[in-house]
Amino acid sequence: MPELPSPPPALAQPAAGGFDLADLAARSDAPDFRIGRPRCADSRPGEIVVCAPDPERDRLRALPDLPAPPPPGEIALSDSARLGAHVEANTLANGMTSNRVMVDVKIRF
């Protein structure tokens, strides 16, 4: 029976003493791969630390005070006609807000 060829280097089993993540974490000079600052303290030997996610992370904050809308403006076009403008907001049936500028013309007769 012909002898099988040796496996390629990428498939060969690593030699004893190869890379192990557990060994990396145990070293004192190991780099810190955490993205954010940890919320909970590190545990000491014989201690169990239970740490929940931050409940404030997804909490909605109050909106800042919005400026008051400008006062309505009005200008005389003639002795009997005036042009005015004001802003208003209205909530539509689907819950969206419609912000609009309203322009009106007043004619006395």
Sequence spans of domains, the chain: 73-107
pTM above 0.75?
no
**Residue ranges of E strands in 1-109:** 73-76, 81-91, 97-107
Q: What whole-number distance in Å separates Cα of residue 17 and Cα of residue 47? A: 30
From first to last of its 109 residues, the chain has per-residue pLDDT tens of 678 887 776 655 656 566 676 676 667 777 777 666 666 777 788 888 888 777 777 788 887 887 877 788 899 999 999 999 998 888 899 889 899 999 999 999 8
